[in-house]
Amino acid sequence: MRVRFAPSPTGALHIGSARTALYNWLLARGAGGTLVLRIEDTDRARSTAENVDHILEALDWLEIDYDEGPISQVARTERHQEILHRLLDEGHAYRSTATAEDVKAYKAQHGADRGFRGEAQDSGAVRLHVPDDGATVVHDVIRGDTTFAHVHLDDPVIARADGSVLYNFAVAVDDLDAGITHVVRGEDHLSNTPKQLLVLEALGADQPIYAHLPLLHGPDGKKLSKRHGAASVQELRDAGFLPEAVRNYLALLGWGDADDETIIPTQQLVERFSLERVSRNPAQFDERKLRWLNGRYLRALPAEELTERLEQFTGRSGLADAVAISQEKLQTLADFDPLAGFIFDGPADDPKAREKWLDEDGRAALADVQAALEPLDPFTLESVQPALEGVVAARGAKPKQVFQPIRVALAGTAISPGIFETLTVLGRDESLARIENALRP
């Protein structure tokens, strides 16, 4: 098996393209095959070296490796020209100066659904001859057979008048030369497939196995875009998602195995994945579900590994104690700073939290907490928890009427890790200093 991932470097790697890369990677790794990375950079106006770097960076973060490439399509220009002249010499293609208006006039004369047929000329763009009879059938593992009657297909332009080849021609030649056996890509490419097959047929080549993946939609059923949240791999990375969780989630967007599991480690994905179980229906990308899944992965990490990842993500160091008390509340790496950043940066400034919890009653409870904590030695979870529970009991209060004022004093907001654990991580002196500061008029 030889598969390829062939992105166009016209922007960041879209989540839908990342899923295509993943499916190709899973196929290759599961079958002991080869994954070829080809950069389809024929759009010189939009293809940039920076965008190529973005694609490579995204694949590296997702831990999707490849066996051959990256191969620049533009770098294969000499080969494309060789094949183009071969098709011209063999009569499979011809030059034509026909314009869009000429095509329109042809259809007005012969019928709107009749494919354009031109006459060979000495100059102009290069068009591929399409037979009048028969049909090109795309055999698709996911969608079944799709038939394109030749009578409805225009003779496609495969090269401009200046000799530069067009996308569908270059793709067909590149797939043939790379020995690609399976073409797995988005269903938006389905309309391109008959044009590519006609090129392969003219070259006497066999048809690869095709699988056109359903498109990704947002929760509202519309095509996935930035309005649904993250739209690129880098945005997911910067939002604090784990690559292994993203791989798991992307794999399930349109595919599922017989066990209908949700948490499937990558190695199991490699072993189980098959094109036959990919749905024809559009898949729905929901960032809330990804957050939930990411949280499951994140909380399953050993504390030491999570600490290392968080230190790399935040640029902070010495996070071990704060991570230990925060892990159960995190869904992404980016959740850490809003939850526990106050441990290092000091209390935040949340006027609403202060107004709600540091009113007269809250301050009175906080004063009792101060008195209960001051004599503690050692200042540990085993001593802090009963001391605070004693304050709750003595005041005849609900726990939150005591614990929330403490939380606001320590964190500046009403959100933090567990209050007993937070106090012990901050330590006696820092905790009492923050409480004293909150009690000042």
Q: How far is CA 310 from the centre of its chain?
A: 20
CA dihedral of residues 342, 347, 351, 353 (deg, nearest 10): 60
Active-site residue 352, yes or no? no
Cα 377–Cα 380–Cα 384 angle in degrees, nearest 5: 85
Length of the chain: 441
SS3 407: helix
**Whether 214 contacts 275, CB under 8 Å:** no
Structure tokens at 432: 């009492």
**Whether 208 contacts 180, CB under 8 Å:** yes
Cα 68–Cα 236–Cα 328 angle in degrees, nearest 5: 120
Structure tokens at 346: 């000091």
Beta bridge partners of 157: 127
**Whether 329 contacts 340, CB under 8 Å:** no
Q: Locate tokens 């937070």: which residue? A: 422
- Spot the catalytic one: 104, 222, 223, 226: 226
| Residues annotated as part of the active site | 226
